[in-house]
Amino acid sequence: MYQNLKDSYVENMLFSANPLQLIIIAYDKAIEFMELAIEAIDAGLDNIDNLIKKCEYITKATEAVAILHDSLNFEKGGQVAKDLSNFYRVILEGLLIANQKNDKELLQNMIMMLSGVKQAWEELERREYGSKSVATEKAAPSV
Protein backbone atom coordinates (compact mmCIF):
# COMPACT_ATOMS: atom_id res chain seq x y z
CA MET A 1 0.00 0.00 0.00
CA TYR A 2 2.77 2.46 0.91
CA GLN A 3 4.55 1.77 -2.37
CA ASN A 4 1.32 2.52 -4.26
CA LEU A 5 1.02 5.87 -2.46
CA LYS A 6 4.62 6.71 -3.25
CA ASP A 7 4.22 5.66 -6.90
CA SER A 8 1.08 7.76 -7.17
CA TYR A 9 2.85 10.77 -5.65
CA VAL A 10 5.81 10.44 -8.02
CA GLU A 11 3.51 10.04 -11.02
CA ASN A 12 1.56 13.15 -10.03
CA MET A 13 4.79 15.10 -9.50
CA LEU A 14 6.08 14.16 -12.96
CA PHE A 15 2.84 15.11 -14.69
CA SER A 16 2.68 18.46 -12.91
CA ALA A 17 6.37 19.35 -13.35
CA ASN A 18 7.42 22.04 -15.78
CA PRO A 19 9.95 21.11 -18.51
CA LEU A 20 12.92 22.50 -16.58
CA GLN A 21 11.93 20.56 -13.46
CA LEU A 22 11.93 17.37 -15.54
CA ILE A 23 15.48 18.11 -16.67
CA ILE A 24 16.54 18.73 -13.07
CA ILE A 25 14.89 15.48 -11.97
CA ALA A 26 16.90 13.60 -14.62
CA TYR A 27 20.09 15.20 -13.27
CA ASP A 28 19.08 14.22 -9.72
CA LYS A 29 18.50 10.63 -10.80
CA ALA A 30 21.80 10.39 -12.67
CA ILE A 31 23.64 11.72 -9.62
CA GLU A 32 21.69 9.50 -7.22
CA PHE A 33 22.48 6.35 -9.21
CA MET A 34 26.16 7.25 -9.46
CA GLU A 35 26.27 7.71 -5.69
CA LEU A 36 24.61 4.32 -5.23
CA ALA A 37 27.15 2.76 -7.60
CA ILE A 38 29.94 4.19 -5.43
CA GLU A 39 28.28 2.68 -2.35
CA ALA A 40 28.11 -0.71 -4.08
CA ILE A 41 31.81 -0.48 -4.97
CA ASP A 42 32.63 0.50 -1.37
CA ALA A 43 30.62 -2.48 -0.09
CA GLY A 44 32.96 -4.81 -1.98
CA LEU A 45 32.65 -6.19 -5.47
CA ASP A 46 33.83 -9.64 -4.40
CA ASN A 47 30.19 -10.04 -3.35
CA ILE A 48 28.19 -10.78 -6.51
CA ASP A 49 25.15 -8.87 -5.20
CA ASN A 50 27.21 -5.69 -4.89
CA LEU A 51 28.66 -6.21 -8.36
CA ILE A 52 25.18 -6.62 -9.82
CA LYS A 53 23.94 -3.52 -7.95
CA LYS A 54 26.88 -1.47 -9.23
CA CYS A 55 26.13 -2.47 -12.81
CA GLU A 56 22.41 -1.77 -12.39
CA TYR A 57 23.03 1.64 -10.86
CA ILE A 58 25.46 2.66 -13.58
CA THR A 59 22.98 1.45 -16.19
CA LYS A 60 20.26 3.60 -14.60
CA ALA A 61 22.59 6.60 -14.44
CA THR A 62 23.38 6.03 -18.12
CA GLU A 63 19.67 5.96 -18.94
CA ALA A 64 19.13 9.27 -17.10
CA VAL A 65 21.99 10.95 -18.99
CA ALA A 66 20.72 9.49 -22.28
CA ILE A 67 17.31 11.05 -21.54
CA LEU A 68 19.02 14.40 -21.01
CA HIS A 69 20.88 14.02 -24.29
CA ASP A 70 17.77 12.94 -26.18
CA SER A 71 15.84 15.95 -24.86
CA LEU A 72 18.16 18.44 -26.55
CA ASN A 73 16.63 20.64 -29.23
CA PHE A 74 19.45 21.51 -31.60
CA GLU A 75 17.29 23.87 -33.67
CA LYS A 76 16.30 26.06 -30.72
CA GLY A 77 19.35 25.41 -28.56
CA GLY A 78 22.07 26.23 -31.07
CA GLN A 79 25.58 26.18 -29.63
CA VAL A 80 24.35 25.53 -26.08
CA ALA A 81 22.65 22.33 -27.25
CA LYS A 82 25.84 21.28 -29.06
CA ASP A 83 27.92 21.95 -25.95
CA LEU A 84 25.49 20.01 -23.75
CA SER A 85 25.53 17.16 -26.26
CA ASN A 86 29.31 16.97 -25.99
CA PHE A 87 29.08 17.19 -22.19
CA TYR A 88 26.56 14.33 -22.03
CA ARG A 89 28.72 12.22 -24.36
CA VAL A 90 31.70 12.73 -22.05
CA ILE A 91 29.57 11.62 -19.09
CA LEU A 92 28.24 8.59 -20.98
CA GLU A 93 31.76 7.57 -21.96
CA GLY A 94 32.89 8.09 -18.37
CA LEU A 95 30.10 5.86 -17.10
CA LEU A 96 31.23 3.10 -19.44
CA ILE A 97 34.82 3.41 -18.21
CA ALA A 98 33.77 3.65 -14.55
CA ASN A 99 31.71 0.50 -14.94
CA GLN A 100 34.56 -1.41 -16.56
CA LYS A 101 37.22 -0.25 -14.11
CA ASN A 102 35.10 0.18 -10.96
CA ASP A 103 36.47 3.72 -10.84
CA LYS A 104 34.95 5.56 -7.87
CA GLU A 105 37.05 8.66 -8.46
CA LEU A 106 35.75 8.98 -12.00
CA LEU A 107 32.18 8.59 -10.73
CA GLN A 108 32.80 11.27 -8.08
CA ASN A 109 34.22 13.64 -10.70
CA MET A 110 31.21 13.11 -12.94
CA ILE A 111 28.87 13.73 -9.99
CA MET A 112 30.62 17.07 -9.41
CA MET A 113 30.36 17.94 -13.11
CA LEU A 114 26.67 17.06 -13.27
CA SER A 115 25.99 18.91 -10.02
CA GLY A 116 27.52 22.08 -11.42
CA VAL A 117 25.46 21.99 -14.60
CA LYS A 118 22.36 21.03 -12.60
CA GLN A 119 22.77 24.20 -10.53
CA ALA A 120 22.65 26.25 -13.73
CA TRP A 121 19.40 24.51 -14.72
CA GLU A 122 17.97 25.18 -11.25
CA GLU A 123 18.81 28.87 -11.54
CA LEU A 124 17.20 29.02 -14.97
CA GLU A 125 14.13 27.26 -13.60
CA ARG A 126 13.87 29.76 -10.73
CA ARG A 127 14.11 32.66 -13.17
CA GLU A 128 11.60 31.20 -15.63
CA TYR A 129 9.04 29.84 -13.19
CA GLY A 130 9.90 31.41 -9.86
CA SER A 131 9.95 27.98 -8.25
CA LYS A 132 11.63 26.83 -5.10
CA SER A 133 14.33 24.22 -5.36
CA VAL A 134 13.08 21.14 -7.17
CA ALA A 135 14.79 19.00 -4.54
CA THR A 136 12.40 20.26 -1.87
CA GLU A 137 9.39 19.87 -4.14
CA LYS A 138 10.20 16.38 -5.34
CA ALA A 139 10.75 14.66 -2.00
CA ALA A 140 8.24 11.86 -1.59
CA PRO A 141 6.20 12.03 1.57
CA SER A 142 7.22 9.81 4.43
CA VAL A 143 4.43 7.32 4.82
Q: What is the pLDDT at residue 142?
A: 40
Comparing CA positions, the residue from 86, 92, 123, 122 lying closest to residue 110 is: 92
- In this prediction the pTM is 0.84
- CA atoms of 97 and 34, how far apart (whole Å): 13
Q: Where are the domains of the chain?
A: 16-131
Q: What is the pLDDT at residue 141?
A: 40
Q: What is the pLDDT at residue 7?
A: 62
- CA atoms of 48 and 128, how far apart (whole Å): 46
CATH 1.10.3720.10 fits 16-131, yes or no: no
> Along the chain (143 residues), what's the average pLDDT of each consecutive run of 10 residues?
61 80 97 99 97 98 98 96 98 99 98 98 94 52 39
